[in-house]
Amino acid sequence: MLCVKNVLILLFGLFMTINASFGRGPYRDYEVLTVPGAFCGNGDAYKIFIDKKRKSKWAFEFRPGGVCWDKKSCFGVIPHAFPLFPSKFLFLKSVYSRRKKSQNFLAGHGHVIFPYCTADVYAGTHRTYYGDNEMIHFGRTNVEKSLKLLADIGYLDWSKVKDLFVYGSSAGAFGTLVHLPTFDKLMPKDSSLKRTLIIDSAGMHFGEKFWEKFSPDFRKDFSDAFSRYGIKTGLESGNLARFFPPLCEKFSHWNVGVIQGSRDIVMSRFFGDISISDHEDLVFSPNGIYQSTIKPRNCSSWISRSNVHAYLFFSPFRWVKIDGLNPYDYTKKVYRGRRLKNFVSKSLKKEFSL
């Protein structure tokens, strides 16, 4: 009898075969690069996907996935310690992987995809053992080495970049926040450059004891990530949305858009240690993401009352509308740099007195 793990791998293999057979026409063609010194959680070599276009326009995608902090979460029924997908193909391409301009306003941008296989929301810099199994949490290290590789081999010349679009869903959305300072430091100091950040379902509203489940090394990695924003603490509360006003101010030269389901079941019950109703209360609290993105001129949010997670990554959810605007079209507005209001349904505005 096949174990659950093997069944999952077989199903993913089937989906990848379908994706590879029928996806080449409408989707970009990617070159696969092995990144020296970069590793997945199980020690496999880390690889990135790149579609070279114009040297002046680039889009970087942080892929979604789970996070783990002990033997059960890392090596259990659905293990997060190794890449489930062969390096030749990408499983479930996002909307920005489409090659036609009519289907993807970033089709003319060079596109780099950071696969997710370290279970550390792209913040990790350490190795550890969970039971007898070694886990390599090198998410942050992998991204930094990947960017260095692209520059070293001449694929990416930051002095020529005029338009930078960074986005991610789920763990990838959290990863964009970890690496926003990384990209900003690499970009030339030119106020005319277009910089866009899209954060799709990062959660950011977690329980008060959220950080306790992580190891000291893990918490140090998170603290280091916060320190890059000038935040000396952060682990005393699970509500990270409270940091958005200073983030928007510090990176006022970026256009920042946040997409979030107010009752996101993944970021509440399965990850954040709170109920979906408590998550929603936090989203609309004085320090929640809605209130935190109202005043900054460069930041806004699109918040749907739903359990949905990762809107831009799963096709059916891209077309959910608020006031006639779906998440994909919302990202276009953010990219164009227009001053945006926060999008939320009238019923939620009334219920939470927004």
**pLDDT (average), residues 239-264:** 94
Structure confidence by residue, pLDDT tens digits, 313-323: 876 777 888 98
Token pair listed for 44: 């496999």
For residue 112, CA distances in Å to 193, 236, 250 come to: 19, 34, 25
DSSP single-letter state for residue 223: H
pLDDT at 83 over 70: no
Spacing of C-alpha 199 from chain mean position: 6
Q: Is the pTM value of this prediction over 0.85?
A: yes
Strands 163-169 and 133-137: unpaired
pLDDT at 9 over 70: no
Beta pairing partners, 131: none
pLDDT at 283 over 90: yes
pLDDT band at 10 (very low <50, low <70, confident <90, very high): very low
Q: Which residues contact 202 (CB under 8 A, 6 or more apart)?
A: 170, 173, 174, 176, 177, 258, 260, 267
**pLDDT (average), residues 233-249:** 89
pLDDT at 113 over 70: yes
pLDDT at 331 over 80: yes
Question: What integer pLDDT is reported at residue 81 of this predicted model?
Answer: 54
Tokens 């959220």 label which residue? 210
Tokens 């927004």 label which residue? 354
Question: What integer pLDDT is reported at residue 82 of this predicted model?
Answer: 56
Q: What CATH architecture is 4-351? A: 3-Layer(aba) Sandwich (3.40)
pLDDT band at 267 (very low <50, low <70, confident <90, very high): very high
Domain map of the chain by residue range?
Answer: 4-351
Q: Poorest-confidence range of 94-98, 119-123, 139-143, 231-235?
A: 231-235
